[in-house]
Structure 1
Amino acid sequence: MSRNHSFPKATLGDLGSALGELKRTLIKSEAAAAEARRQQEAEEKRRAASQPARPVQQPTGPKPKLTAAALARLNTPLPGEAKEGAAEGSQPAAPPTPHKPVEAEKPVARPAPAQKPKPAVAGDPAKLRKSAADRVRALVGGSTPSVEERPHSISIASKAIIDSAVAAGSAILRDRPEPDEDGYIIGFDFGTSSLKVAYRQPYVADDPVAVIPVPDELRSAKHPGLWQSVIWYHPGNEEFSLYPVDGAIALDGFKTGLIAGHGSNPMPQVPQVTRAEAATAFLALQFAYMVGAYALEQPLHPVGADHFVLINIGIPVAVRDDKRAFTEFSRLVTAAYALAPKVRSLNLQALRAELAAAPSTLPPYLQLVPELTAAIAGYAADPMVQHGAHILIDVGASTLDIVSFNLQAQLRASVFTAGVDLFGASALEVARSAGVDDTTFTRACDYLFEDVYGKAKADTRAPSLFKPGRRRRPVQLVITGGGCDTDLHTRYINLLPQDQVLGAIPLKRPSPPSKILRERGDQSRLLLAYGLTRDVTELHELRLPSEIDDIPPLPIQTFRMIDKDMI
């Protein structure tokens, strides 16, 4: 059966005629409806015009009035808004008189809603730390802290030992100012309260190292290896001495002034002598003494050479990385070494002349070595030492040094941040005597720690080594210096090896080998002097903070739509 059907053919003309007729019918209907609406609107207007207007009925009865409270609120302008007129029901203003200007009606103050008292806001911890640091620094920097009582006299035997050593050393430096390539190395730890000197013969079996005992009267804290950082000046003949003489005045605290940037300030004991001049005189006499004492006593016999090859002088890392401070220290050391051959007649005028002419460039056999380098040398002598992130805290008499560094293999170390300030052991005594409580002094120490550690763990410095949550292992805390034993510094240091700070691992306090001293004494006090006896090739290659660039911030990645047609 076929499904195809036959339909009559429709032509385009027939379809067009039907559509046209329908369109004409629609147009006529719309026009008729519009005309009907127009006629209806016109009729309504004629009807409204023919009817009279109805009068508006006015309200009757008493006029309502606002209450006094409502009127006051209505008349009170909003902030920044002037009220143009009074509300209905208010009394009209009195008519103006020719002699008295019209006074504007004062708005009634709207009572402020009762507010709950705000809780007291605690002080900003960062500002409290900075304020405490500024206070302690001002007290200690302007003073001359004395750690211990200075001797008023010494024995004839001690005087003879010092005089003979100074004379011998002065003659040696006059005749042989240049070093011996096969000579011994002197480690010179110039501290605020004491000087430590160690001798070592490099590249010899059994690592021979020694410290010559200090004369009894000049020992600091009765330690055989610590010489008090004090010099005597006689105002009459203007001469300097390493021991007390009749009429001489003890000058101490001069290194504190140098660190605080007060080298040109006069000594409080003798105003005509500056701190820089006192430090230069002390160094000059010590250069002569330590060379002469070695020649007379031969502490490294039989393997020790008869002349030195290198003198390493320790300075804080922050000073080494400060161009101005480093230049000033270099000038003092250069002048002191030039004065050493003639210290037997050293007076103030000769010292000033040498200081004025001294260059700031040191000869190669005199090196200013960062104390951190020396500490690492002594610390890394232990074969069990770990590599990685470290914080070193060195508490001296007047100064507190804090350094963050990364110890690497092959004698390499990178220092990320370093700081030194006047928050040491004797600084604590000065602060306490001035009425500073322990909480304030602890905040001052915390200010320096936060400055060093806070910058080290910053995202732009070394967060993967120091920042909790991002570091892989704890930060090793290493402490040095005799000031670590004060009650306050001990408490403060013991709070640092915690998970939320450096990490819960024991701190380390390294010491040099026991053979360094002939007599009993705290070996750890000689760590820096021992580390300074290393040759340049034995010391860690140290990258200072100014030599390490910050980590640049990651560029901001903006979202960009990628269409399938763009691929």
Structure 2
Amino acid sequence: MADLKSELKKIRAQRIDTRSAPPRAAREQRPTESRRDRGETAVLRTLQPAPATDESAKGVCGPRRDSGIGAAVSMQKVARLASPVPTVFKPLTKSGLLRQKLYRDPADWVACGVNTQMESASVLRHVDIVIGLDFGTSYTKAAVGFMDKIYPVTWEGVSLAVPSFLLASEYTVGPLGDAMFGQHPACRLDEFATDLKLPFLQPGASAPSIARAAVFLGMVLGYIRAWVFRYHSKKLSGATIRWQLNLGAPCNGMESERIVKAYERLADMAWVLSMHPDGRKFITAESHASASLPGPPCADLIARTICPEFVAQMAGYMASPQRVRGLHALIDVGGGTVDIVTFNVHAIEDEDTFPFLVPEVRPLGTHALSHNRLTDIEEPATAADYDELDPVPEAEEFAARAGIGIGHVRERDALFSQSVSKSVRSVFATTKARRYRLSDAWAGGVRTFFTGGGSSVGLYQDAIARAHLPGTGGLLIRPLPLHPRLDGLPLDSGQYQRVSVACGLAQDSFTLARIIAANEVEDDTPVMYQTADRPDRDDIYG
């Protein structure tokens, strides 16, 4: 028995020694040595604290501001106490309709959009018009391109919202099954269709989800045609219009055939519904969704293309004098996701070419930010009174409007900011480690376009500034330049960031850059040269 007791004491002592943490210096030194021994210093350097470069703190972000995230609570403490940032993006609980005051009955001229041609169309003259359609989680934007100009579409015919180039991605289904843009003043919560884009953020959007979204985009396409007839009929002079449709997809969409197929089916179904006399009825959309094909092809739609949104956003830059070749990056903060992609700008036989290096889409957009702030609160119904389509407020204003504690919001923001930083850091670390190891940009700075509706939110600006990246040059943050063919609507740089996708899509798909998907681009691995054995002296002179 004495021997058994002594053995138990030894085991307990060993457990205590095993659980005791090594000194801090040892904890920091051990992974450093092991990673360097394995030749992973490029990845390791992203984890080392380093001051932000001047360029990374300037540009569209402006001087980096302390949003109170770091001072409010320790990252490690938040990670232990709070629930993690939600990875599955769900619709926010809605306790009421908050945008009914923005509703308006469609103007009389909108009805003619069911047609694809003007009454005076002549077969002797043709004009190609390209519709660029950016179907967003929060807002949908559109532009039309023809006669070497690009015109952003304004929605004053169906909405009172300001600015007029943004249309909320939502609609009301009336008692007779007819869909109407926006939130009708007499509608109930169960007659309201929103969160239309969410099913498309993951592969495998269901047929009912495609049908719900197709009703909305069908109305959008009909309105765009009516808008062209109303405001540009003199330019067209009775010509027959050959329509083209370019629909934007996430930057990683080309990597998944299921995502591409879902967007193709959505675009085809929406075009058919836009010309159908009962196209605004959901039952009509359901019948098309259940069919093997969305409908017969339309002779007036000569081309339909699904295009990565970031390629469209870069169209203005590629046509500007600011263009340079080499490693670039784009960070697009949208309503549902943050799209991060590194890519190379170069030309093959005088054709602009974009090889994707590391595309990543994370559910960390502005809707996700609001959802994260409302995680772990005791009274979700009170917080749900916040309108998620409003510009995202800073932590103090959000807490006051949502009726929750500022401490809770700051803790959730700290965790969310850490997730954004980690995603940014991961993309650049992978790019440096095995996709474009020897780019001059790692020393001189990676040209990074920071755009999207959420790019003005301080949390995202701070998160990017805090993401420790490989190399010494940091990020050269800048906004997207205005497209040189932009016309019809005076936009400043900040407004253009909201419509850059639509404007880039509003040009012939053949004029957009050639895309090489990331899974078709080989890794950048070191070339190993074999040194020939040196001959022995006796072999030479013997």
- Does 1 or 2 have the higher relative contact order (CA < 8 Å, sep 6+)? 2
Cα distance 1:464–1:196, how it changes in 2: closer, same or farther (>3 A)? same
* SS in structure 2 at match of 1:457: helix
Structure 2: any 5+ residue segments left out of the alignment? 32-45, 48-74, 377-410
Name the residue aligned to 2:421. 446
Provide closer, same or farther for how the CA distance between residues 108 and 153 of structure 1 changes in structure 2, counting only shifts above 3 A: closer
From the superposition, tell whether residues 120 and 323 of structure 1 become closer, same or farther in structure 2 (CA, over 3 Å): farther
The 8 Å contact of residues 222 and 275 in structure 2, kept in 1 or not, is answered as yes
In structure 2, which of residues 289, 312, 315 is the aligned counterpart of residue 377 of structure 1? 315
Cα deviation, residue 149, structure 1: 6.2
Q: Deviations over 1:106-165 (max 9, x none)?
A: 4662765798743488899999999999943435x122488x96532666xx4242x632
**Pairing of 1:165-564 with structure 2 (within 5 A):** 165=110, 167-172=111-116, 182-202=127-147, 204=148, 208-215=149-156, 218=159, 222-234=162-174, 236-245=175-184, 246-247=186-187, 249-261=191-203, 263-264=205-206, 274-298=208-232, 301=235, 307-342=241-276, 344-357=278-291, 359=293, 365-409=303-347, 410=350, 411-435=352-376, 437-459=412-434, 461-465=435-439, 468=442, 473-495=444-466, 500=471, 503=474, 505-512=476-483, 515-517=487-489, 522-551=495-524, 554=527, 562-564=535-537
Deviation, 1:502, is 5.4
* Contact 1:194 1:229 (8 Å CA) reproduced: yes
Q: Distance in 2 between matches of 1:133 and 1:284?
A: 43
> Given residue 6 of structure 2, which amino acid in structure 1 is its aligned partner?
A
Corresponding residue SS for 1:437: helix
Shift of 1:524: 2.5
Q: 1:159 aligned to 2:105?
A: yes
- CA 1:185–1:467: 2 relative to 1, 3 Å: closer
Partner of 1:109: 6
CA contact (8 A) 1:285 1:343 kept: no
Q: Report SS of the residue matched to 1:317.
A: coil
Instruction: Specify which structure has the higher proportion of strand.
Output: 2
CA root-mean-square deviation = 4.2
Larger Rg: 1
Q: Supply the distance in 2 between the matched residues of 1:354 and 1:154 (Cα, whole angstroms).
A: 31
Cα deviation for residue 392 of structure 1 reads: 0.2
Q: Deviation string for 1:322-362 (max 9, x for gaps)? A: 11111111112111112211154532332122112254999
Is residue 389–residue 465 contact of structure 1 (8 Å, CA) maintained in 2? yes
Secondary structure, in 3 states, of the residue corresponding to 2:229? helix
- Alignment match, 1:143: 91
Normalising by structure 2, we get a TM-score of 0.69
- Which runs of 5 or more residues in structure 1 are unaligned? 1-103, 266-273
Question: Deviations for 1:290-318, whole angstroms, at most 9, x for unmatched residues?
Answer: 11221122178378966243221111121
| 1:105 Cα deviation after fit | 7.6
Aligned equivalents of 1:305 and 1:406: distance in 2? 40
In the alignment, the residues of structure 2 paired with residue 132 and residue 328 of structure 1 have an alpha-carbon distance, to the nearest angstrom, of 39
Letter of the 1:184 counterpart: I
In 2, Cα distance between the equivalents of 1:499 and 1:457? 7
Deviations 1:498-524 (A, max 9, x none): 784652645334334674415888233
Q: Distance in 2 between matches of 1:455 and 1:304?
A: 54
In structure 2, the CA distance between the partners of 1:174 and 1:545, relative to structure 1 (3 Å rule), is: farther
The correspondence for 1:118, drawn from 4, 10, 21, is: 21
Structure 1 pair 214–306 and aligned structure 2 pair: CA distance change class (3 A): farther
2:369 counterpart letter in structure 1? L
**Percent pairwise identity:** 21
Question: Residues of 1 paired with 2:80 and 2:219: CA distance?
Answer: 40
Give aligned pairs, total.
Answer: 438
- Mapped contact 1:133–1:447 kept (Cα < 8 A): no
Contact 2:173–2:192 (8 Å) recurs in 1? yes
SS in structure 2 at match of 1:434: coil
CA separation in 1, counterparts of 2:345 and 2:81? Answer: 32
Cα drift, residue 415 of structure 1: 1.3
Residues in 2 aligned to 1:130 and 1:276: alpha-carbon distance in whole angstroms: 37
Bigger drift between 243-252 and 419-428 goes to: 243-252
Q: 1:133–1:259: structure 2 CA closer, same or farther, 3 Å change rule? A: farther
Rounded to whole Å, the distance in 2 between the matches of 1:292 and 1:130 is 52
